[in-house]
Amino acid sequence: MGFRVVNQDTVLDEARKLVKGVTRRVWITSPWITGRAANMLLRDVLPRIETDGIDVRLVYRVKEATDLQITDLAALQSFEDAGCEVRYSTRLHAKLVLVDDRAIVSSSNLTSTAGYGRLDPSWRNEELGIYVEDDTSILNDLESEFEAIWDAASGIDPDTLGIAMDFPSVHEYKFVAIREVKLGEYVTAEDAFGNIILGHISGITAYNRSFPQMNQSM
């Protein structure tokens, strides 16, 4: 049975060693994911997805507009284009890196401030987690937990215009547009019970990740 502590200063090196030695799978849950941090972790495995059949899955969260102040949707799309499977959840808070039969369970999101980067240590959050290996029972439980999160998450298909956020209702809902939309158009959304809700686009806001003060209605 093997356990050891990881924190904001060691999580990247530990996770990269795991990913570099992968033979079957890399399964990751992280509410917030930046492109730079994800690339630091996955760059060694991306070329092997097609050649070696490595199963790479990422689950992130989109619930509120603040999630997109950190998570980089364009980067996630590039990972999907490279062969990763990517889904989003509105409830995700778990942070897991499961590689073959080893895992890191920690408080760290896939961001530089959480340890997945080369920031000065004084700029990193204080994080804590454990590295697990050689414990079949716990690793099987982690696999089951990931699969439950994965099954409950949603993917983005070619017909998806955007992702509903905040607390949608039958009267109003906001969504992040991932394709071009126009004021006055109609869109549909599906609720948790599979019912279709028709919506009329009554307002569009341009969102600038780099300069939030430049966000403006159009």
Q: How many CB atoms lie within 10 A of CB 135?
A: 16
Give the highest mean pLDDT range of 9-23, 63-77, 182-196, 197-211.
9-23
SS3 per-residue string spanning 22-63: CCCEEEEECCCECHHHHHHHHCCCCCHHHHHCCEEEEEEECC
Question: Could you tell me which of 86, 105, 1 has the C-alpha nearest to residue 38?
Answer: 86
pLDDT band at residue 161, thresholds of 50, 70 and 90? confident
- Radius of gyration over alpha carbons of the chain, in Å? 19
| Domain-wise residue ranges, the chain | 2-152, 162-217
Residues of the chain above pLDDT 70, percent = 92
Q: What is the mean pLDDT of residues 35-63?
A: 95
CATH of domain 2-152: 3.30.870.10
Question: Could you tell me which of 98, 52, 100, 60 has the C-alpha nearest to residue 77?
Answer: 60
Q: What is the mean pLDDT of residues 87-114?
A: 96
Which runs of consecutive H residues, i.e. helices, occur in the chain?
Answer: 11-20, 35-42, 48-52, 73-81, 136-152
pLDDT band at residue 53, thresholds of 50, 70 and 90? very high
